[in-house]
């Protein structure tokens, strides 16, 4: 019997096993008989989707999201009625995909020549032959050096810095105690990067709990140092003299649309729709996150980060995968100022990547 045309739809809601809605999930509709791709759709920020303008016939839906196991429906017989699949639950998968390189058009982060770094370290070494000071010199950074946590507090009370590199194990006062005092006594929000030789599980979380913003495990490479500084150093919006601290070179992988392209199966309109939706909706979620932060609502900040997490994975934004998870699981008893720095850095980077993204 020939197919008849009828403008109706198949609808549903995509959620994880905890009942949280999943945005940007790809839904592909295939003819049940020959597996020809008929339609494609994507879930919105509430996890809802709708496949419209179908012809009468039998179909199968395949639902894909990076980081989750694929889901395939049973055969659906469509005769013009609306088919409501209800809640479709996706289970998380441990599978990791390789990234591809996407070229950037311009540097994402620039820093004024006046930016100052405070290096608080008893004894620092990297994976290479050069010391930390030589690496900072190579990045054209201005910096001061002190040898323990007490001296760091004294330095910060006298001068404003843009970043602190804090060794954890030092005489007189260790990095944990110094960071806590910087937050609670000086009320100084300057980003602090912990430098530690400890590779124990939970070390990063401990550093964050004491008010630090990020973490580097020694020995570290020049690239790791640059990437960590890039994630944390603040921008001076009033600065007129700027030069790159860590310019994103043309070979830098900002995002990876490989999984989107595989699902699109050559449909460039589908890819473009996904990219435009990402730009619009990610901006809204970042606004929501910062509003919650302004109200000191750490729980809501975490919930928004949870919604953003699968999106970051789906679009292959590997540089922010760890950060979004740290924000999602941020300790409610942790430093609010440290969280603000982390959210501001995340917001800045994601907006910059979104502006670069093309189908």
User: Which pLDDT score, from 0 to 100, does residue 348 have?
Assistant: 85
In the predicted structure, residue 159 carries a pLDDT above the cut 50: yes
**317-358: pLDDT as tens digits:** 888 888 888 898 888 777 888 888 889 888 888 888 888 888
What mean pLDDT comes out for the span 177-192? 88
Structure-token match 């599980």, residue found: 201
Helix (H, G, I), strand (E, B) or coil at 36: coil
User: Which pLDDT score, from 0 to 100, does residue 127 have?
Assistant: 34
| Residues in the chain, overall count | 359
Q: Give CA separation, 1 vs 4, 56, 57, 201, in Å.
A: 9, 10, 10, 63
Question: What pTM does this model have?
Answer: 0.46
Helix (H, G, I), strand (E, B) or coil at 6: coil
What mean pLDDT comes out for the span 116-140? 55
CB 58 within 8 A of CB 81: no
Nearest to 28 by CA among 335, 279, 266: 266
Task: Encode 126-142 in three state secondary structure.
Answer: CCCCCCHHHHHHHCCCE
CA distance 80 to 7: 7
Q: What are the CB-based long-range contacts (under 8 Å, 24+) for 308-311?
A: 308/282, 310/16, 310/22, 310/23, 310/24, 310/25, 310/65, 310/66, 310/67, 310/68, 311/23, 311/24, 311/278, 311/281, 311/282
In the predicted structure, residue 136 carries a pLDDT above the cut 80: no
Q: Which helix (H) or strand (E) holds 325?
A: helix 321-328
What mean pLDDT comes out for the span 122-131? 40
Torsion sign over Cα 217, 218, 221, 222 = positive
Higher pLDDT residue, 70 or 233? 70
Phi, psi at residue 72, to the nearest 5°? -125, 130
Phi, psi at residue 342, to the nearest 5°? -65, -45
CB 244 within 8 A of CB 115: no
Higher pLDDT residue, 57 or 205? 57
Structure-token match 């591809």, residue found: 100
Look up residue 329 and give its two tokens. Answer: 């699981």
Look up residue 216 and give its two tokens. Answer: 């580097």
Cα end-to-end span (Å), the chain: 39
CA distance 323 to 313: 12
CA distance 189 to 345: 13
Q: Model confidence at 282, in pLDDT bands (50, 70, 90)?
A: confident
Show the beta-strand stretches assigned E in 126-236. Answer: 142-146, 163-167, 192-196, 214-217
Q: Model confidence at 272, in pLDDT bands (50, 70, 90)?
A: confident
Mean pLDDT of the chain: 75
User: Which pLDDT score, from 0 to 100, does residue 134 have?
Assistant: 64
Higher pLDDT residue, 186 or 97? 186
Query: Looking at the DSSP assignment, which residues form a beta bridge with residue 193?
Result: 165, 214
In the predicted structure, residue 234 carries a pLDDT above the cut 50: no
In the predicted structure, residue 53 carries a pLDDT above the cut 70: yes
| For the chain, percent of residues with pLDDT exceeding 90 | 10
Peptide bond into 158 cis (omega under 30): no
User: Which pLDDT score, from 0 to 100, does residue 139 have?
Assistant: 62
User: Which pLDDT score, from 0 to 100, does residue 286 have?
Assistant: 92
Structure-token match 């999943």, residue found: 22
């Amino acid at each position: 019997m020939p197919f008849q045309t009828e403008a109706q739809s198949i609808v549903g809601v995509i959620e994880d096993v905890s009942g949280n809605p999943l945005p940007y999930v790809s839904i592909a509709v295939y003819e049940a008989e020959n597996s020809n791709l008929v339609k494609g759709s994507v879930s919105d920020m509430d996890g809802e989707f709708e496949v419209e303008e179908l012809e009468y016939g039998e179909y199968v839906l395949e639902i894909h999201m990076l980081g989750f196991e694929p889901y395939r429906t049973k055969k659906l017989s469509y005769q013009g009625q609306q088919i409501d699949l209800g809640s479709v639950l996706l289970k998380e998968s441990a599978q990791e995909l390789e990234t591809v390189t996407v070229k950037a058009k311009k540097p994402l982060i620039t820093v004024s020549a006046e930016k100052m770094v405070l290096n608080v370290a008893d004894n620092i070494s990297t994976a290479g032959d050069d010391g930390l000071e030589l690496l900072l010199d190579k990045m054209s950074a201005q910096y001061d050096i002190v040898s323990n946590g007490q001296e760091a507090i004294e330095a910060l009370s006298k001068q404003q810095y843009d970043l602190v590199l804090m060794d954890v194990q030092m005489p007189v006062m260790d990095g944990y105690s110094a960071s806590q005092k910087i937050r609670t006594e000086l009320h100084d929000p300057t980003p602090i990067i912990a430098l530690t030789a400890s590779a124990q599980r939970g070390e990063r979380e401990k550093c964050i709990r004491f008010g630090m913003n990020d973490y580097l495990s020694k020995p570290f490479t020049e690239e790791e140092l640059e990437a960590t500084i890039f994630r944390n150093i603040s921008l001076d919006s009033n600065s007129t003299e700027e030069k790159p601290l860590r310019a994103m070179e043309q070979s830098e992988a900002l995002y990876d649309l490989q999984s989107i392209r595989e699902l699109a199966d050559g449909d460039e309109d589908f890819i473009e729709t996904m990219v435009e939706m990402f730009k619009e909706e990610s901006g809204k979620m970042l606004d929501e996150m910062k509003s919650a932060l302004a109200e000191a609502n750490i729980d809501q900040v975490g919930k928004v980060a949870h919604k953003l997490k699968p999106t970051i994975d789906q679009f292959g934004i590997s540089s922010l995968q760890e950060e979004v998870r740290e924000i999602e699981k941020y300790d409610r008893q942790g430093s609010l100022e440290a969280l603000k720095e982390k959210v501001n850095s995340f917001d800045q980077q994601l907006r910059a990547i979104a502006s670069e993204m093309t189908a």
